[in-house]
Amino acid sequence: MQNLLDLDRPALVDWFAARGEKPFRAQQVLKWIHQQGVDDFDAMTNLAKPLRAALNVGACIRGPAVAADQRSADGTRKWLFQLEDGNRIESVYIPEADRATLCISSQVGCALNCSFCSTARQGFNRNLSTAEIIGQLWMANRLLAADGEPPVSNVVFMGMGEPLLNFDQVLRAVHLMQDDFAYALSKRRVTLSTAGVVPGLERLARETDISLALSLHAPDDALRDELVPLNKKYRIAQVLQACKNYVGEGRRRVTIEYVMLAGVNDSDRQAHALAALLRQIPAKVNLIPFNPFPDTRYRRSDARRIDRFRDILYGAGIVTITRRTRGDDIDAACGQLAGDFKDRTRRRARIAIEVRGGAA
């Protein structure tokens, strides 16, 4: 049984061609699924009856199930989605005056083990399929429509997982987000955030032009090695060069994400070092006040420190904004997504030993 949420337009055209159907069928069906939110072939009234019957036998349209639906006092909404294998992932809807952003997950858990992120604590299970990635958007729009809330206008890959380590599935989902017969989101409205997987960045530059965010978090390699262990493999200079190549001629700026950790990466000296580092690339900075989670050793920088850090960057000519914390009352803020899944890396067990004071 083929879940049609797994297929982008070229794949759906092929799927229909194998059944003797013309390419425009793919366009019709994509519109029903992604624009109308339909999951019932019998509702697809512009398809001939025999085709609908064939679809009922060989295909399905199945998104993730809603395991929990929480609303924050500030309007943010978090869904816990249950996948067919029982794993659970989270997506966050963030409505604003001029847009409605959906923050989606690309993996069940995350293997990168960034020291300040709660998803990392949960360990890693597996990559999401295209259907599971686009299914978060598809379900969100269906649920929002049912409640009379505005549909998603922007998507950010800033939920659980490292999207560039699940490249093929993520890219196929991006194709659907941008397809005029599906979500028709412009390149400005789809942002991929990465911890800096250099080969993935190089491939991304060849295959798409969506917006890019880099989780930098430190102005020097020694500190970044500690915060983002992936840095031991891909150094800051190499990662920034890959970002620079990505935004290239005619593309926009890279968003640099920088989590504000009290006494760790928030000094004046570090702000100046960051400004110097970013002089060579078209960047804007997003300062993210750290969002705490149980057992973390980090604290959020206070508001005055964050303002001071911002002013130094600003003074160096770098556009800098402080990301407003949204949805923290329902653990939906950056770095708080945990989902519910089986950790295959045994990281949770290892951390439990460390916390009890045993050997790492």
Positions that interact with ligand SAH (CB under 6 A): 114, 116-117, 158, 162, 193-195, 215, 257, 259, 288, 290-291, 334-335
- Give the shortest CB-147-to-ligand SAH separation in angstroms: 26
Complex with ligand SAH: residue 117 or 247, whichever CB lies closer: 117
CA distance 321 to 150: 25
User: Can you read off the two tokens belonging to residue 121?
Assistant: 């604590």
Backbone Cα Rg of the chain: 21
3-class SS of residue 181: coil
Q: Please identify which of the residues 103, 114, 243, 334 carries the catalytic annotation.
A: 334
How near is the Cβ of 324 to ligand SAH at its closest, in Å? Answer: 12
Residue of 21, 90, 132, 162 marked catalytic:
90
Beta strand residue intervals within the chain, DSSP E: 2-3, 59-60, 65-71, 77-82, 88-95, 100-103, 107-109, 124-127, 154-157, 190-194, 211-215, 254-260, 283-289, 320-322
Query: Of 67 and 111, which has the nearer Cβ to ligand SAH?
Result: 111
Taking the C-alpha atoms of residue 360 and residue 357, their distance in angstroms, rounded to an integer, is 8
Shortest-Cβ-distance residue relative to ligand SAH: 335
Residue length, the chain? 360
Q: For residues 51 and 239, which CB has a smaller minimum distance to ligand SAH in the complex?
A: 239
**334 catalytically annotated:** yes
Shortest Cβ 300–ligand SAH spacing (Å): 8
The residues, any chain, with a CB within 8 Å of residue 360's CB and separated by 6 or more, are 350, 353, 354
Shortest Å distance, C-beta 175 to ligand SAH: 19
- Which CB sits closer to ligand SAH, 87 or 194? 194
Closest CB 254 distance from ligand SAH, rounded Å: 12
Q: Which is nearer to ligand SAH, 13 or 318 (CB)?
A: 318
* Contact (Cβ atoms closer than 8 angstroms) between residue 152 and residue 100: yes
Of 66, 75, 67, give the one whose Cα is nearest residue 329.
75
Give, in order, the Cα–Cα distances in Å from 332 to each of 97, 154, 178, 257, 281.
19, 17, 26, 17, 31
Catalytic positions: 90, 334
